[in-house]
Amino acid sequence: MSALQDTRTALDALMLQHRVEQFYYAEAALIDGRDFMAWLNLFTDDTRYLVPIHRNTAVNEFSDSLGDAGLAHFDDDKSVLQRRVIRMASGRAWAEDPPSIQRHLITNVQARQLEGGELDARSCFQVHRYRLDREVEVFTGARVDVLRPDGESFRIASRTVYLDHATVLANNLNVFF
Amino acid sequence: MSDMRFGDVRSLCDMNEGVLSPLVFTDEAIYQLELDRIFGRAWVLLCPAGQIPAPGDFFNTYVGADRVIVVRQKDGSVKALLNQCRHRGNELIRQDSGNVKAITCTYHGWSWDTAGSLRSVPYEDIVFPEGFDKSAWGCVQMAQVDTYKGLVFGTWDPSAPTLIDYLGDAAWYLDTPLDRFEGGMELMGGVNKWIVKANWKIIAEQFVNDMLHPEMTHISALIASVPPGADMSNMQLPVTGRQFTSPQGHGMGLWTDGPILDLTLGERVKHYLVDDSYAAAVARVGKARADVQAAHMTLFPTGVVLFGFNHIRVIHPVSVDESEIWTWQLSPAAAPPEVKQLWAKNSQRAFGAGGLFETEDSAVWSGIQRTMKGAIGRRHPFAVQMGDRVNRGPDPDYPGRVTQRAYSEVAARGFYHRWLEMLTSENWREMDRAAQARYAEGGHQ
Ligand code: FES
Ligand SMILES: [Fe+2]
């Protein structure tokens, strides 16, 4: 392999990393800006949005314990995700009226090209949610996505969200991750 | 109010008049009394039996604020052990669930078998030169543990009535979610747990009593669930149903009609419930129970069952103003796999920490708790007065004390009647006498 090719490969990897990170930052801005309809459009029509439930296990079971409770907070196709967005946009979702102030911090982004053109993209998040006078809740976790190229950008063909809590330490999960 | 005496408690809860003081949700002394006299005596829902199928399987839970290990025995029976070392109190098991042969303390290594008998003490000969009677130091355990159609319950009180007597007429209703389908119900995965910043009774009361709130509280989820283009004017919640209350404080509201299952579970699951499985269900549990589509129920104090959605839950008190809700999902074991899965998924989408419907409930519950922080917000009683105040006689189809509408507060009054009786009675005979008096002819409800 020539030096030029090496440089090109490295540049491609850098560009890919950059594009995926920018995609995630833009996505976070849509959620924090409560533009949920636009956020929904980032998902493919055949998407699956999964937030499995974690369980406290013995150490030797730990590797499979992330999400092994066999039950999910969210296990949605696009139509269910759409219902959640419609609910939020209805103006009558009292738990989000007044709206909570959310900040999605996205980090630890790793992207890898899969056969067939899709990407395996992983990221970590911390979501800070402030509501009413003094309600503060913090969610942390990891996301494993399959991103499908769409022009210069991507769509999310599947997302699995691993919350770092076995018990949800919040009044509700009115949050998109 | 920190020196709470029974006379004071009685003045806070008058269910003949239907008035309830906010203090029952905020007072620390009342909360401590509840842990002792209610959670220390009542039959409390522990878990579905499917959570611990094999010998040695355990499930780590709470009864009131006490940690309890529910563990399957070699002979198939179930024991419930206090999760506390008898030596110096260390937690014995910290995992949520799993399988054990022995239960060994991580402090000094004392070790119990799954029946709770102390089996070994490290260096026993050296540390007890004069000998030690291990048989006197078994795990503290619940006095009675029993199962009703796949749900495991326990009580610390050896003098408590049997489980079936404790359930009373509620058992008949429970057969709808638990025994309607040939082959019984199957546990679908683990436990959905979340916290709610509200006193446990605020939550338990909704499930014992409140069929009225969905149209207001859950309007956003109803809007989101209506198929595009559907006529919202047909989407009123139904009025056909019943509310049930019982001397034991259990209660429920049921619907025999209405759009709620179409909107939440979807056509395929509803079709399975009201068509595919209907004839067999009528043969099995009779028409009255086969006709029940959706219902909410609280088994006093903290067991919750959502009929139609196949949810089993328990509300754990964490402190006077905080609770944890744990939810299990069941599906009919004999249903086609795709129906089973869809049922579980759609139920979870409606109810739970992330449920389209329930996220609104937890906001209301914590909102109620917030209004009771000040002296004035605790001074003025709440009205618990809807529905018939005197009993109108038996229902031809449904046993126990029932009203002809699902919308009523008779079940809330029954719940708080029992709450007060249990808090203030020395023994079960006293509780029963009090319940008999209010169930006598002309008694308030
Ligand atoms: S505290 Fe458990 S063995 Fe000492
Ligand atoms: Fe509700």
Q: Does A87 touch chain B (CB under 8 A)?
A: yes
Asked whether the ipTM of the predicted complex exceeds the cut of 0.85, the reply is yes
Give the closest of B195, B197, B348 to A72, CB-based: B348
Q: Does B341 touch chain A (CB under 8 A)?
A: no
Q: Which tens digit of pLDDT belongs to each residue from B76-91?
A: 999 999 999 999 999 9
Q: Give yes or no for residue B267 having a pLDDT over 60.
A: yes
Q: How confident is the model at residue A133 (pLDDT cuts 50, 70, 90)?
A: confident
User: Could you say which residues from 20 to 49 on chain A have a Cβ atom under 8 Å away from some Cβ of chain B?
Assistant: none
Report the nearest atom of ligand 1 relative to the CA of B108. Answer: 3
Q: Provide the pLDDT for residue B229.
A: 73
The larger pLDDT score, comparing residue A86 to residue A66, is at: A86
Q: Where are the domains of chain A?
A: 3-163
The larger pLDDT score, comparing residue A61 to residue B135, is at: B135
Active site residue B108: yes
Cβ separation of A173 and B353 shorter than 8 Å?
yes
Q: Provide the pLDDT for residue B234.
A: 62
For B360-378, what is the mean pLDDT?
95
For B10-39, what is the mean pLDDT?
96
Q: Provide the pLDDT for residue A60.
A: 78
Q: How confident is the model at residue B392 (pLDDT cuts 50, 70, 90)?
A: confident
Pick the CATH number of B44-146 from 3.30.10.20, 3.40.640.10, 2.102.10.10, 1.20.1630.10: 2.102.10.10
Active site residue B361: yes
Q: Which residue has the tokens 């078998």?
A: B113
Q: Which long-range contacts (CB under 8 A, 24 or more apart) does B29-37 make?
A: B29/B1, B29/B2, B29/B3, B29/B4, B30/B4, B30/B320, B30/B423, B31/B199, B31/B317, B31/B319, B31/B320, B33/B4, B33/B9, B33/B423, B34/B64, B34/B317, B34/B423, B35/B64, B35/B65, B35/B66, B35/B317, B37/B422, B37/B423
> How far is residue B297 from each of residues B95, B307, B362, B410, measured CA to CA in Å?
29, 8, 17, 13
What would the two tokens of residue B383 be? 């009205």
Q: What is the mean pLDDT of chain B?
A: 93
Nearest chain A residue to B356 by CA: give it.
Answer: A84
Q: How confident is the model at residue A64 (pLDDT cuts 50, 70, 90)?
A: low
For A120-125, what is the mean pLDDT?
98
Q: Provide the pLDDT for residue B46.
A: 98
Q: How confident is the model at residue B181 (pLDDT cuts 50, 70, 90)?
A: very high
Nearest chain B residue to A88 by CA: give it.
Answer: B220
For B312-338, what is the mean pLDDT?
96
Q: Provide the pLDDT for residue B436.
A: 92
CATH (residue range B168-438): 3.90.380.10
Q: Does B99 touch chain A (CB under 8 A)?
A: no
Q: Provide the pLDDT for residue B406.
A: 84
The CATH architecture to which A3-163 belongs is: Roll (3.10)
Distance CA B133, CA A128 (A): 55
User: Could you say which residues from 137 to 176 on chain A have a Cβ atom under 8 Å away from some Cβ of chain B?
Assistant: 166-174
Q: How confident is the model at residue A63 (pLDDT cuts 50, 70, 90)?
A: low
Q: Give yes or no for residue B324 having a pLDDT over 50.
A: yes
For A124-144, what is the mean pLDDT?
95
Give the closest of B191, B324, B354 to A173, CB-based: B354
Q: Does A69 touch chain B (CB under 8 A)?
A: yes
Q: How confident is the model at residue B235 (pLDDT cuts 50, 70, 90)?
A: low
Q: Give yes or no for residue A65 having a pLDDT over 90.
A: no
By the 8 A CB rule, do B251 and B201 touch? no
For B165-192, what is the mean pLDDT?
95
Q: Give yes or no for residue A66 having a pLDDT over 70.
A: no
Q: Provide the pLDDT for residue B227.
A: 78
For A62-78, what is the mean pLDDT?
76
> How far is residue A46 from each of residues A41, A81, A118, A155, A157, measured CA to CA in Å?
12, 12, 14, 11, 7
Contacts of B345 in chain A (CB under 8 A): 72, 75
Q: What's the gap in Å between B362 CA and the centre of ligand 2? A: 8
Ligand 1 atom 3: residue of nearest CA: B108
For B386-412, what is the mean pLDDT?
90
Q: Provide the pLDDT for residue A71.
A: 85
Q: Provide the pLDDT for residue B226.
A: 86
Q: Which ligand is nearest to the CA of B105?
A: 1
Q: Does A70 touch chain B (CB under 8 A)?
A: yes
Where in the sequence of chain B do the CATH 3.90.380.10 domains occur? 168-438
State the nearest Cα–Cα gap between A137 and chain B, in angstroms.
12
Active site residue B175: no
Q: How confident is the model at residue A19 (pLDDT cuts 50, 70, 90)?
A: very high
Cβ separation of A72 and B95 shorter than 8 Å?
no
Q: Provide the pLDDT for residue B2.
A: 46
Q: Which ligand is nearest to the CA of B219?
A: 2
Q: Which tens digit of pLDDT belongs to each residue from B80-120?
A: 999 999 999 999 999 999 999 999 999 999 999 999 999 99
Q: Provide the pLDDT for residue B4.
A: 57
For A106-133, what is the mean pLDDT?
96
> How far is residue B20 from each of residues B16, B68, B375, B386, measured CA to CA in Å?
10, 32, 16, 13
Which of these is catalytic: B210, B262, B291, B321? B210
Q: Provide the pLDDT for residue A68.
A: 57
In a mutational test of the pocket of ligand 1, which residue from B83, B84, B90, B103 has the highest number of ligand atoms less than 8 Å from its CB? Answer: B90
Q: Does B324 touch chain A (CB under 8 A)?
A: yes
Q: Provide the pLDDT for residue A55.
A: 82
Q: Which ligand is nearest to the CA of B121?
A: 1
